A and B are shown apart, each in its own frame.
Chain A
Amino acid sequence: MSAADAAGAAARGLLPPLGASPPVERVAAEERAAALGRRSLKRAAKVAGLRLAVRCMDLTTLEGADTPARVAALCRKAIAPGGAASDVPSVAAVCVYPSLVGAARRALAGSAVRVASVAAGFPSGLTPLATRVDEARRAVDAGADEIDMVIDRGAFLAGEQERVGDEIELVKEACGAARLKVILETGELGTFSNVRRASDVALHAGADFLKTSTGKIQPAATPGVSLVLLEAIRDFYFRTGRRVGMKPAGGIRTARQALHHLVLVKETLGDAWLDPELYRLGASTLLDDVLLQLEKERTGAYGSLEYLPAD
């Protein structure tokens, strides 16, 4: 798009005015996020936080080696993470590739655990638009309750923000009743101000959740970048009255990191977001560490992964 075209589009209200999103000072944002990592969470507060982390978890497997049997095992773990006899709550969702949505749907039948699917050209978001939209629709038809799509970062960085927004709208339309999580892939956006801008584009295009990363690119869900998304969600809520969810994903492996992310949302968006309807933690290996920590709080002694149900 030429500069003249861009000016014309802006005049018609199609383009967000340049600078409409507030700039973000990276050093200060990261400092604030790091400070929230120093909250001291002991005993009951720690247990409650860890149980919340489980309830908000999108238990994820996105590997070439995934099989229907492996997904079924993961689903059993999602329903009863600590084993049948444990009081550990179910996770929020199981997140798989579209080809395994059916397997997950069957394995989760009768439970409240949702099926989420990465779709729309994951993880690059660079396949033809029609293919992406179609893929999302098929995943929903196969039984996905939630779709995780990634934006075209190339288009965003080239300044074609309206195209990014339009594509999100089209995928959202294809999702029907399924909820749409928009992955910004913050590790490829260059600056925190860009992350904020991309957040605003996704929010206005109808995202149900903002999600930091695919997990395939580093850095992923750093506390700093997560804070930027949370602040965008907060401003959007005040502007529109709509509560959009948040999903940090990628690199969250320890219970301690999960608690840090929960503190970020608690002290930025408040109580309403401390709920799986509005908050998710995307993770593949986090659950085991959370279970170990819960067991340690229960018994006073650290356990071993060997005693946890294998997936």
Chain B
Amino acid sequence: MLKLIEGGGASQDRRSGERRLEFGDRWPYEPSPEAIDRAGLRDRWDAFIDGRFVPPAEGGYAADLCPATAEPFAAVAESTAADVDSAVAAARRAFEGAWGRLAPLERGKHLFRLARAVQERARELAVLETLDSGKPIQASRDFDLPLVASHLFHHAGWADKLEWAFHGRTPRPLGVAAQVMPWNFPLLMAAWKIAPALACGNTVVLKPAETTPLSALRLAEIASEVGFPPGVVNVVPGGPSVGAALVTHRGVDQVAFTGSTEVGKVIRRAVAGSGKRLLLELGGPSAHLVFADAPLDQAVEGVIAGAFFHQGQVCCAGARLLVEESVHDVFVAKLRDRMETLRVGDPLDKNTDLGPVGSAAQLARVRELVASAEAEGAARYSVARELPARGWYVAPTLFTGVALAHRIAREEIFGPVLAVLTFRTDTEAVRKANATSSGLAAGVWTSHPGRLLELARGLEAGVVWANSYHRFDPTSPFGGCKESGLGREGGRQGLAAYVRLEEDA
């Protein structure tokens, strides 16, 4: 007779010293780096204003460092308020001139051509993005670039159909949009902002993050090549002072920002009373809930992606794992096995899963938070792996025994660090998930559909992913609750940030 399964199920797994999986070198993968000559690098990158590259009016050039080597590989213009002035003026001329006069259908065609050009040059852009941001090439190639193109395609379609997005009201463009970018998804966030702004008939001045300016500059150049009139897309690289000059500029009608909650609050105060429209996409640690009845092996993949995709430097990273107590041990054991297979190293290598973090400052911050968690009593598990000698690398790390009061459970980590907490009931899960001031995203893994629906209502998050994580689509609006943002990006809802409705006027 069948001696099946007493108790059975994964929760009965016993792990001991002699039962372990070896992820070693029995069949090693060779290094497989993408060639950097594809990136179209140049030594000097100027601001892109009024359809051409323009040397800075007053400032000099700053070294752009490669996160994988911590060495400079390009010099980028340090724009100043004077460059912002000329960029905003160019954007205003385009808005009142060639771009503003264009029929909506023609605007859509421009976006469509840009989307096609991005697809054609996807490999070049992916390599450039990886060099500049440290993002593994598999992510830039298979995630960022396809999404960049799909956002442009999606919004190309909206350009002449805006009346259908706002029933009974007539949408009008706002004017000049000031867009300030983060460093984690430089090109993707540029596309998220540029695409709806242009589809709605606005012109754009974009300030890329100080450490990752290259792909946005290249995108502006491509836009010019495919026929966008001068001044429609302008890019002024530089540090926080350039961002401040841009968002407070009197010639700007709309401000869109993706980045930290701290800076988002500063911007919101700065534009208060100015009449400028504001779109904020901020951060905060998102909660990832795993119930005992979940498809556990797939939940492992979701949690790994949530915590370690792009080294955890994602605004909606699922850095707080809430796992039902009865499966905590087996789930953590599975996570640890899976972490052992993560390949950390040269982001240009096609087999690399985790590259470096984005900057020396970020590395210091992640290390400081890891130290705080250890000091506060959480148990640390880091993958034992020799990290590259150069560059800003962090080994994938998991903390168990984390309490809500610990800093890693409350603050945004923005590094490959996962904090594991437990719960016993649905109510406790929701309470713990909501116990932060942020509310960007959440993930729920369960086989119980009723629970999914209930949790989607109970969780204070702009996005709740069901049995999945980090799913993005241009048709789906994305944005935060609480301190995680204001407004939505993507889909029909995302257009609202870029139009004035006639009855509002």
When chains A and B are docked, how far (Å) is the Cα of A267 from the Cα of B27?
Answer: 11
Judging by beta carbons under 8 Å apart, are B350 and A28 in contact?
A: no
B371 within 8 A of A: no
> Which B residues lie within 8 Å of A38 (CB)?
138, 142, 350
Judging by beta carbons under 8 Å apart, are B24 and A22 in contact?
A: no
> Which B residues lie within 8 Å of A39 (CB)?
29, 350-351
Q: Could you list 11 examples of A-B contacts with CB < 8 Å?
A: A16-B4, A22-B295, A22-B296, A22-B297, A32-B301, A39-B350, A45-B27, A45-B29, A266-B26, A271-B22, A272-B21
Judging by beta carbons under 8 Å apart, are B13 and A40 in contact?
A: no
Judging by beta carbons under 8 Å apart, are A40 and B29 in contact?
A: yes
B27 touches which one: A24, A32, A200, A274 (CB < 8 A)? A274
Please list the residues of chain A having a beta carbon within 8 angstroms of any beta carbon in chain B. Answer: 13-17, 19-25, 27-29, 31-32, 38-46, 48-49, 52, 162, 165-166, 169, 193, 200-201, 204-205, 231, 234-235, 237-239, 241, 262, 266-267, 269-272, 274
Please list the residues of chain B having a beta carbon within 8 angstroms of any beta carbon in chain A. Answer: 1-10, 12-15, 18-19, 21-30, 32, 138, 142, 293-298, 301-302, 333, 341, 349-351, 447, 467-468
When chains A and B are docked, how far (Å) is the Cα of A24 from the Cα of B13?
Answer: 17
Judging by beta carbons under 8 Å apart, are A42 and B32 in contact?
A: yes
Judging by beta carbons under 8 Å apart, are A23 and B19 in contact?
A: no
Judging by beta carbons under 8 Å apart, are A237 and B297 in contact?
A: no
Given A25-B295, A29-B298, verify A17-B27 contact (CB < 8 Å). no
When chains A and B are docked, how far (Å) is the Cα of A4 from the Cα of B346?
Answer: 60
Q: What would 8 more interface pairs be, CB under 8 Å, given A22-B294, A23-B294, A31-B301?
A: A17-B5, A17-B9, A23-B293, A49-B27, A169-B2, A235-B13, A271-B25, A271-B26
> Which B residues lie within 8 Å of A48 (CB)?
27-28
Q: Closest CB of chain A to B38's CB: distance in Å?
A: 15
Given A238-B13, A239-B14, A270-B23, verify A45-B28 contact (CB < 8 Å). yes
> Which A residues lie within 8 Å of B23 (CB)?
266-267, 270-271
When chains A and B are docked, how far (Å) is the Cα of A23 from the Cα of B341?
Answer: 23
Judging by beta carbons under 8 Å apart, are A271 and B9 in contact?
A: no
Q: Closest CB of chain A to B112's CB: distance in Å?
A: 28
Judging by beta carbons under 8 Å apart, are B9 and A21 in contact?
A: yes
> Which A residues lie within 8 Å of B142 (CB)?
38
Judging by beta carbons under 8 Å apart, are A40 and B351 in contact?
A: yes
Judging by beta carbons under 8 Å apart, are B2 and A166 in contact?
A: yes
Q: Closest CB of chain B to A34's CB: distance in Å?
A: 10
Judging by beta carbons under 8 Å apart, are A270 and B4 in contact?
A: no
Q: Report which residue of A165, A166, A200, A270 has the largest number of chain B beta carbons within 10 angstroms of its beta carbon.
A: A270
> Which B residues lie within 8 Å of A13 (CB)?
4, 6
Q: Closest CB of chain A to B252's CB: distance in Å?
A: 41
When chains A and B are docked, how far (Å) is the Cα of A271 from the Cα of B142?
Answer: 28
B8 touches which one: A17, A46, A169, A274 (CB < 8 A)? A17
Chain A residue with the shortest CB-CB distance to B9: A20
Q: Closest CB of chain A to B279's CB: distance in Å?
A: 31
Given A14-B2, A41-B29, verify A19-B9 contact (CB < 8 Å). yes
> Which A residues lie within 8 Å of B27 (CB)?
45, 48-49, 52, 262, 266, 271, 274
Judging by beta carbons under 8 Å apart, are A24 and B9 in contact?
A: no
> Which A residues lie within 8 Å of B468 (CB)?
27-28
When chains A and B are docked, how far (Å) is the Cα of A273 from the Cα of B212?
Answer: 42
3 interchain residue pairs of minimum CB distance: A20-B8, A28-B298, A40-B32
> Which A residues lie within 8 Å of B7 (CB)?
17, 20
When chains A and B are docked, how far (Å) is the Cα of A238 from the Cα of B16?
Answer: 8
Q: Report which residue of A24, A193, A262 has the largest number of chain B beta carbons within 10 angstroms of its beta carbon.
A: A24
Q: Closest CB of chain B to A260's CB: distance in Å?
A: 13
B4 touches which one: A15, A237, A262 (CB < 8 A)? A15
Q: Closest CB of chain A to B343's CB: distance in Å?
A: 9
> Which B residues lie within 8 Å of A22 (CB)?
9-10, 294-297
When chains A and B are docked, how far (Å) is the Cα of A41 from the Cα of B31?
Answer: 9
> Which B residues lie within 8 Å of A271 (CB)?
22-27
When chains A and B are docked, how far (Å) is the Cα of A13 from the Cα of B5?
Answer: 8
Judging by beta carbons under 8 Å apart, are A25 and B298 in contact?
A: yes
Judging by beta carbons under 8 Å apart, are A29 and B2 in contact?
A: no
Q: Closest CB of chain A to B390's CB: distance in Å?
A: 22
> Which A residues lie within 8 Å of B349 (CB)?
40
